[in-house]
Structure 1
Amino acid sequence: MTKIIKIVSFAFITGALLCSNAFARFSVLPYIQNTTATSVTICWETDEIQESLVKYGTGKNVSYQYSAEGPQGKKHRVAIKNLKPGTLYYYQVLSGKDVIPAGNRDFYFNTASRAGEPFVFAVYGDTRNGLNSYDTDHEAVINSIMKFSAPQFCLVTGDLVDKGSDTFLWENFLRIENSITRHAVIYPTYGSNDLSKGKDTYDNYFVLPNGGKWYSFDWGGCHFIGLYAWDTFAQSKKELSPDSEQYKWLVKDLESETNKKALFTVVFMHDAIYQYGKPKNTNLEKYWVPLFKKYGVDTVYCSGAHLYEHTVIDGIHYVISGGGGAEMQSNYATGDTTNVIYEFHHCKVSVNPPVLKSEAINVNGNVLDSFILVSNFAEKGSENSNSSLGLSGNSNSSERIEIIEGALVQDDNKPIKLALFSTDCVYCHEIENTTLPALAKKLNIDLELHVFPLRDRGNFEKLVILENEYNDHDNPVPAVFLGGKILGGEKEIKQNLENLLIDLKEMPPETREARTDLKISEKSYDAENNIVQRFKSFSLLPIMVAGLIDGINPCAFATIIFLLSYLAILRKSKQELILAGIVFTFAVFITYFAVGLGGFSFFRAMSSYQLISKILRYLIIGLVFTLGILSLIDYYKCLKGKASEMFLQLPKNLKDRIHGQIRNYAATGGLLASTLVLGFLVSLFELACTGQIYLPTLQYMAGLSQYRGAAIKYLFLYNIMFILPLAIIFIFTVFGTTSSGFLRFFEKKVALIKLLTAILFLLLGIILLN
């Protein structure tokens, strides 16, 4: 009876899915298998014996220039060969009355990337689907993979279904997976449930290298090894030991030239070797771990346990990713070196040579854990050894490269490479747009500048990796990396940048190129763990002091002084001045707090961001200098007894008219709204330079779910202290423009006040210029 209910329910679900997509009659929708750089296999199933025809092509308009055929049948496997590496193809399946409509952009595949090209893959396991409560969680994981990772292929680490001999369960698995598999190949490994005591039909659905029990494949210069470790506590040692066929194959594969030249070697299988709070898998540790160490395996992904766990042993990252849909296991205590998380998730792995970044992402898109591996060029023989820091373009980072020409005569010497880790602050822009172009012309050299905005968390990880590589930690930002040295903060950059460039210029070309190469030789370094440890060392007082120091922002000071002085000239009441000052200060606070949490990244990433920031800055500078000069002229007129002719006052009739209009405007809240927008714009496009490491670290930690609460608390206190200097300026300005005693003093000492005002504005202008 249960079987009948399953079949009827499955038929209903599948029928609803297929009809809704106008793909009638397919019992299993088309999916991708066995992708290489030059070939792919398209698989599908029909209820009746039908032809097997696939049309495909690379046209942007989804045109199909080519076709391939397979034998007739119910199970269809069409192999397509002679494809171009790293290329997107659209395809159409025609199988009798079962047809994918022509022009459908949802059916495509990518051939394997060339060595050195970036790519993304996903890892997940223990989907264990069936018509039960697990399906909902399984589908949520699959949807999150497409939404947050969009991989080119997936590693599925076993226990795909509850019972591997049940055709219904396999077809249901393929139904759920189809939003991925119609685009990207999945590479599975056996779990104990898939094996079903040897009665499984696993081979009926997958076209895998080497028969599929254990196999390897290559993608983008990386080597992937899938192993047959379904349940080694019950599995025969004959399948694992040095005398086994699998062990001998594994040694041969690890010794192959393909693996030796690989940027990374990734092993995936079902059974976990290590799990915190559980006995070690002694068979795998005894037989396979020595091979992993000897032949440079970088990371091992597995499942078996329904959780996420990440630990590093002898330099190898062991990851359990068993959150694909089966019920979560009970919580266990975790060790200091082990990160265990109980959430449905997948691992997004971004490879951008020579860097691999692995992120555990839950169904809501939150990053639960991450780590970075950096390939050793000398050992791995990368063809892309000149990659900028080897860290370009991963999912949480961005890079901009600019050639700064200063050499009067072009020669064969390559530009001097340097990296700038930028916080979008004023001095960051000055380095890029003024300092470096001036030095390039002065020294008659060309520069190749790589800008890494620290608003992207991946770029902060790059800085930390560099600091570890060169044993120079906790640098203030902005930071410049040049010639094997890190210059941290404005003071150090101004003192040493020019001399360092002079030293590099005088070196022989070969030596200079070697010294300025931005590649990293470190094999593996967990940047995130270093940042976490730095965060744990923070205390409240230094963070508050850092916020207070960073809050000395002349641009904001000049703006609020002008704003409140202008409102005072228009005879605004003391309450209105206080309210305007509070709104402006609040806007500064909330903008910086939001930026600290990663907000406004879209605006800050715009190509026009620097231009808008520069325009706003020079408008304020122009305004400040104008007020300073006019105050000096007023001072001169006061000395001549012509106070009534001062510039910085309004004629009575005009003053009264504006006063009335402003009051009406303020009554509707327009004045406060304008003040709020002004504070927002000044803060967003005139970001203060932080001379401390605290803010970038807090911004990074706010992106980690397990530390977000503490990071937000620190960010809040940092920003409270950040606005304190502004609040003090605001209070003094209000007092100076509303105090009756001060106004009487002003009437008696107009000339002196005008002179002091002129000095104040001119000093602010000079500070802003410098």
Structure 2
Amino acid sequence: MLSIVKGPYLQNPTGHTMTVMWETSYPAISRVDVLHAERIHSGHQGNYKQPVDLFGTFAEESPTRIHQITVEDLEPGTTYYYKVYSQHESDEIESDFYMFKTAAGQGKPFSFTVTSETGGYSGFDSSGGHINQRIFSLMKQYRPDIALFIGDIVNDGKNEEDWNKYFFDPGRDFLVNTPLYSCLGNHEDNASWYYDLFAFPEPKNFYAFHYGDVHFICLDSTDLIRKEDYPHSSGGMSPGNAQYDFLVRELSSSVSKWKIVFFHYPPYVSGGYQVEDLRQLCPVLEKYGVDLVLNSHTIVYERSHPVTEGKVDYDNGIVYVVVGGAGAMPNWLLPKREWHTSQSLAVPHFLQVIVTENRLEIRAIDDDGRLFDQLLIRKNAEGEKDYI
């Protein structure tokens, strides 16, 4: 019997396109129907949107199990309804209606959430609860425009079942209307499923994209620090390395107000599994004015002071945040904090980040919905920063 086994879920939002992906139990010919959303009034229940006339139908050319269809010619910052349809021989299936919103343009405020470690330990806590389900549910309540996952979203990336167990099943209600980006963690193990299931910009293990006034850059730290050499550098963080050269090109040409880089292994954390060799990237990040670096791997929350050249710098430093997300390992924290640590706590959590033209507000929220840390970075027209 034909069924949808993953998704649908959203990828690569721009002002004029959205990519819809899903997986079916058998190869099927498939399409996405997109409808305009009309705001109507419903008395005491207030305003809401409902699907009205058909905007367009977008189809694949041949049967496949993993479906990837890009919807085009959309209007920026606009909400649409969509549903997916698949047919295998005489069997067919269609989804419910879901909503997506096209990307915000330059100068437009938006928000995003960040978490990680939905795989492995974070799938089940000691009392039998599902930490990752609670985190997904809370992120949905904050209605972010996009979501970042900083690796280890599964326990074993080469095990097909893990992708549903730890990520697509617990995250289903969130991912149907929130475009996601992720980086490779060590638990993904550079598995082919990562490349098959996501439509990130090529080559997928490192890439960049723009949203609003932010230039996001994803790196693959599991390639820079390879398994056989961990925790030491594999010798790639210098000119001539594909990722290093990519990073320099992206940053040197960037005209965005804010620059955010994310990768799995943390160069700064006062806990186990700090990977200091990744500080070889810091001179490049500092030279081109990166504002925020997001990491994971150590399953805790930790925010650094603004740092430049290995020192605290409250004029123009980079803030490093370890978002060990959907899990917590208190015994991974060192007995005392290191010099670079501003705030640290071992609780399951996610970040809500709110971006405006001159403000970047970072809020850390635990799996009970409590705010436990926040930072506001303000930037004037000359690029000078205040950290509050």
With normalisation by structure 2, the TM-score equals 0.85
1:58 to 30, 36, 39: 36
Corresponding residue SS for 2:325: coil
Corresponding residue number in structure 1 for 2:162? 169
Task: Report what 2:220 is aligned to.
Answer: 228
| Shift in alpha-carbon separation, 1:248–1:93, aligned structure 2, 3 A | same
Q: How far is the alpha carbon of 1:281 from its aligned partner?
A: 3.1
Could you tell me how far 1:255 is from its partner in structure 2? 1.1
How far did 1:100 drift?
1.4
Equivalent residue number for residue 252 of structure 1:
249
Write out per-residue CA displacement over residues 31-82 of structure 1, whole angstroms, 9 at most, x where no aligned residue. 1011122111110111122221111122223123211111322111111122
Residues 234-290 of structure 1 show CA distances to partners (whole Å, capped at 9, x for unaligned) of 47524433331110111011111xx2x21110011101011115586332212x100
1:90 aligns with 2:76: no
Q: Distance in 2 between matches of 1:194 and 1:207?
A: 16
Whole-angstrom CA distance in 2 between matches of 1:279 and 1:41: 35
2: CA distance, partners of 1:166 / 1:328:
28
**Residue 33 of structure 1 contacts residue 185 of structure 1 at CA under 8 Å; is this kept in 2?**
yes
Q: Distance in 1 between matches of 2:169 and 2:353?
A: 24
Secondary structure of 2:9's counterpart equals: strand
Query: 1:245 is aligned with what amino acid?
Result: A
Q: Secondary structure of 2:107's partner?
A: coil
Residue of structure 2 in register with 1:364 after alignment: 368
Who is 2:68 aligned against? 77
- 2:249 is paired with a residue of what secondary structure? helix
1:137 equivalent in structure 2: 131
Aligned to 1:310: 303
Letter in 1 for 2:172: N
Do the aligned partners of 2:146 and 2:179 also contact (CA within 8 Å) in 1?
yes
8 Å CA contact retained: 1:138, 1:326? no
Contact between 1:137 and 1:325, CA under 8 Å: does it hold in 2?
yes
Give runs of aligned pairs for residues 437-476 of structure 1, distance below 5 A.
none
Structure 1 139/278 Cα, relative in aligned 2: closer, same or farther at 3 Å? closer
Find the structure with the greater CA-based Rg.
Answer: 1
Deviation at 1:89, TM superposition (A): 1.2
* Aligned mates of 1:187, 1:350 — CA distance in 2: 17
Distance 1:191 1:279, change over 3 A: closer
Say whether 1:35 aligns with 2:13.
yes
Summarize deviations over 1:422-453 as a string: whole Å, max 9, x none: xxxxxxxxxxxxxxxxxxxxxxxxxxxxxxxx
Match of residue 268 from structure 1: 262
What is the CA-CA distance between 1:146 and the residue it aligns to? 1.1
Q: Which runs of 5+ in 1 are unaligned?
A: 1-14, 16-23, 380-522, 528-770
Check whether the contact 2:355–2:361 (CA below 8 A) recurs between aligned residues: yes
Q: Which of 339, 350, 354 is matched with 2:354 structurally?
A: 350
Deviation at 1:188, TM superposition (A): 0.4
Amino acid at match of 1:26: I
Q: CA deviation at 1:88?
A: 1.1
Counterpart of 2:238 in structure 1: which amino acid? S
**One-letter amino acid of the counterpart of residue 83, structure 2:** Q
Does residue 1:216 correspond to 2:208, yes or no? yes
Deviations 1:609-634 (A, max 9, x none): xxxxxxxxxxxxxxxxxxxxxxxxxx
RMSD between aligned alpha carbons?
A: 2.2
Q: Which of residues 267, 291, 298 in structure 1 aligns to 2:291?
A: 298
User: Are residues 1:67 and 2:57 paired?
Assistant: yes
Tell me how far apart the structure 2 counterparts of residues 238 and 79 of structure 1 sit (CA, whole Å): 38
Offset of residue 525 of structure 1: 2.2
Alignment of 1:632-671 (within 5 A): none
Q: Which structure would you say has the larger RCO, counting Cα contacts within 8 Å and 6 or more residues apart?
A: 2
Equivalent residue number for residue 115 of structure 1 = 106
Q: How far did 1:131 drift?
A: 10
Instruction: Look up the equivalent residue of 2:294 and give its one-letter code.
Output: Y
CA separation in 1, counterparts of 2:333 and 2:207? 34
Q: 1:299 touches 1:317 (CA, 8 Å); kept in 2?
A: yes
Match of 1:323 in 2: 325
Change over 3 Å in CA distance of 1:98–1:57 after alignment to 2 = same
Contact residue 46 and residue 74 of structure 1 kept, 8 A: yes
Aligned to 2:44: none
8 A contact 2:299–2:332 mirrored in 1:
no
Map of 1:284 onto structure 2: 278
Distance 1:56 1:235, change over 3 A: farther
What is the Cα deviation at residue 330 of structure 1?
Answer: 4.0
Deviations 1:570-606 (A, max 9, x none): xxxxxxxxxxxxxxxxxxxxxxxxxxxxxxxxxxxxx
2-structure distance, mates of 1:194, 1:133: 18
Deviations 1:79-116 (CA, angstroms, capped at 9, x unpaired): 11221111111101111222014xx3xx1111110111
User: Pick from 322, 337, 340: which aligns with 1:334?
Assistant: 337
Q: What per-residue deviation string (whole Å, max 9, x for no partner) do you get for residues 163-221 of structure 1?
A: 110100012211112222101111100011101xx544211111001221111100112
What amino acid is aligned across from residue 29 of structure 1 in structure 2? G
**Contact map agreement 2:379 2:386 (CA 8 A) in 1:** no
Instruction: Write the deviation string for residues 137-181 of structure 1: whole angstroms up to 9, x where unpaired.
Output: 11111111112x211111110111111101000122111122221
Match of 2:148 among 152, 155, 159: 155
* Structure 1 match to 2:198: 206
User: Is 1:179 the equivalent of 2:211?
Assistant: no
Q: CA deviation at 1:292?
A: 0.7
Residue 597 of structure 1 corresponds to which residue in structure 2?
Answer: none
The percentage of aligned residue pairs carrying the same residue is: 26
| Structure 2 residues not aligned, in runs of 5+ | 39-49, 309-316
